[in-house]
Amino acid sequence: KQEVTQIPAALSVPEGENLVLNCSFTDSAIYNLQWFRQDPGKGLTSLLLIQSSQREQTSGRLNASLDKSSGRSTLYIAASQPGDSATYLCAVSGTGRRALTFGSGTRLQVQP
Amino acid sequence: GAGVSQTPSNKVTEKGKYVELRCDPISGHTALYWYRQSLGQGPEFLIYFQGTGAADDSGLPNDRFFAVRPEGSVSTLKIQRTERGDSAVYLCASSFDDRGHGYTFGSGTRLTVV
């Protein structure tokens, strides 16, 4: 059974810092990996989707990398802003199963 | 529609009652998913539809939970004989293919069983 772990569970940083969020998964037979953002009381917004054949994806100040063989992904946020404060969730889909398996998320607070 | 719409946004019900939660996906999205999220946790998969059929219902916790998507668009999640442990946010998502492209979540229905 796939398990996804995210470290740290919570993070507080001053505005302007670059930061890294970590995600690990136990079964490397994934089809793709997604990073989502969730604001309090809201649904999830997809940030980046990395196919299993890819090593990284970039969107603006966000960069996500994937090392499938070691079961790891990182989300890099450059020059953090207070508006980045949210919970960031990592999720993987399996090669045979369409459902996403989520981690518990990293709650990020960027202090102005 | 412009996004995934879920109704109601909040539902309070008494233990033992029956509830229905509705999801209206993005027009043209063939795949529809239901997840359940407890406080401080990531969403947990319940059921996945491709078109009208339930392609994977392995996440449904027991036979009190059932979902339908009769015309391949709107879906309803039905919970019978609700229990306090069913309290959670129920999230619906849709995507335009079965590989997660264009994955879009609704804002969820917060279900509270008292």
Residue pair B55/B48 in contact by the 8 Å Cβ criterion? yes
Chain A residues with beta carbon closer than 8 angstroms to that of B33 = 98-100
How many interface pairs between A and B have CB atoms less than 8 angstroms apart? 64
What residues of chain B lie within 8 A of the CB of A91, using their CB?
42
| Smallest Cα distance from A70 to chain B, Å | 22
Helix, strand, or coil here: A28?
Answer: coil
Which residue in the set B4, B45, B104 is minimally distant from A100, CB to CB? B45
- What does pLDDT average to in each consecutive run of 10 residues of chain B (114 residues)? 90 98 94 95 95 92 96 96 97 86 91 98
Q: What's the pLDDT score for residue B103?
A: 87
Span A99-111, pLDDT tens digits: 899 999 999 999 9
Q: A43: nearest CA in chain B?
A: B107
Residues of A in contact with B107 (CB under 8 A): 41-43
* pLDDT for A43: 86
CA dihedral B99, B100, B102, B108 (to 10 degrees): 150
